[in-house]
Amino acid sequence: MTAAAAETNPIYRRVVLKLSGESLSRAGEHGINMEEVADISRQIKLAVEQGCQVAVVCGGGNILRGAQFKEKNVAIHEATAHYMGMLATVINALALQDALECIGCQTRVMSAIRMDGVAEPYIRRRASRHLEKGRIVILAAGTGSPYVTTDTAAAQRAMELEADILLKATRVDGVYSEDPEKNPHAVFYPELDFQTVIEQGLRVMDSTAISHCMENKMPVLVFNYKTNGNIVRAVQGEKLGTRIS
C-alpha cells in the first residue's frame, strides 16, 4: 500500500450516520428538497468509496413530528402520532435511496415496520451482510415501537451492527454550552464525556440514546454535515466537531 493510499483509508470500518429529517429540507422549510438530499448523497458516496461501511438512520421531522399532536383537543393518541412519525422516516429513506442510486450507489432500505412492497424488514444479520457487500443500508421506522426517538434508534442500531462510531449530523459545528444560533457567545466543546453531557443536560441526543451509548462504550461524533466533505473527514477520523466518549 502506498503512503497516499494509506492517507485516504477510513479510520472507521463501519459507521451509523444519523440524519435528522430537517437535513433533507432547506432551513426553515418542511418537506423534502431534492437538492439537499443530493448533496448529502454525494457525501455519503464519497465515504463509501473510502472503504467505509455506512448505515444511515433517517428522522422524519421535516414531514411530521409526534409532538404536534400533543395539544389537548387533538383526537390522536400519542402512540398513533409516533407511528405516523415512523412512516415519515420511510418516506425520507425512499427519497435518499433514489438519490444515492442515481449516482451509482447500491442501497437497501430496511424498515422496522413491515412494508414489503417498498422496503426489506430490518433483520440485524441481513443488514450486516448488506454492509459487508458495500451496500448503503438506510434504516427507517425507528425501532418500530412508539415513544422511542430516532436518536435512540440510531444508538441501538449502532450497537447491534457493531459500528465503530455513531455519527450525528447537525447544522452546527458540534456541541455548545447553548444554542449557537441563539447565543453567539456559546462555548464550543471539542471533546466531552457522556457523564458531562448528562449532568449538564447538553442537547446532543435524548437521554436514553446517550445512556445506551455510555453503557455500551459507543463513541459519538457530532459534526456539521453542511460543510462539504465533512462526512468523509468524519469517517477518516479527522479532528472535527465534538467527540463524546
Per residue in 103-133, pLDDT tens?
Answer: 999 999 999 999 999 999 999 999 999 999 9
Taking the CB of residue 15, how many other CB atoms lie within 10 A of it? Answer: 25
Residues 6 or more apart in contact with residue 119 via CB below 8 angstroms: 90, 93, 94, 109, 110, 111, 140
Cα atoms found within 13 Å of the Cα of residue 98, Cβ hemisphere only:
9
Q: Give the separation between CA 103 and CA 105, rounded to whole angstroms.
A: 6
Q: Which pLDDT score is estimated for 167?
A: 97
Q: Calculate what percentage of the chain has a pLDDT beyond 90.
A: 75
Structure confidence at residue 182 (pLDDT):
85
Identify the three-state secondary structure at position 212. helix
What's the mean pLDDT when you consider all of the chain?
A: 91
| 15 strand-pairing partners | 54, 165
Q: What pLDDT, on a 0 to 100 scale, did the predictor assign at position 67?
A: 65
**What is the residue-wise DSSP string for 56-69?**
EEE--TTT--GGGG
pLDDT of residue 71: 63
Reported as a single tens digit per residue, the pLDDT across 28-38 is 888 999 999 99
Single-letter amino acid, residue 103: I
In one-letter notation, the amino acid at residue 108 is R
Write out the H or E segment, with its range, that includes residue 83.
helix 78-102
What is the mean predicted confidence (pLDDT) over 40-47?
96
Domains of the chain: 3-244 (3.40.1160.10)
Beta bridge partners of 138: 56, 109
Query: Could you tell me the pLDDT band of residue 236, with boundaries at 50, 70 and 90?
Result: very high
pLDDT of residue 221: 96
> Is there a contact between 84 and 141 (Cβ–Cβ < 8 Å)?
no
State yes or no: pLDDT of 55 exceeds 90. yes
Res. 7 pLDDT band, cuts 50 70 90: very low
The band of 66, judged by pLDDT with boundaries at 50, 70 and 90, is low
Confidence of residue 161 (pLDDT cuts 50, 70, 90): very high
Residue entry with cell 448488506: 130
Q: Is the pLDDT of residue 3 over 60?
A: no
Listed as own residue / partner, the contacts of 184-189 with beta carbons closer than 8 Å and 24 or more positions apart are: 188/242, 189/242
Question: Is the CB of residue 146 less than 8 Å from the CB of residue 79?
Answer: yes
pLDDT at 1 over 50: no
Task: Report how far Cα 213 is from the mean position of its chain's Cα atoms.
Answer: 14
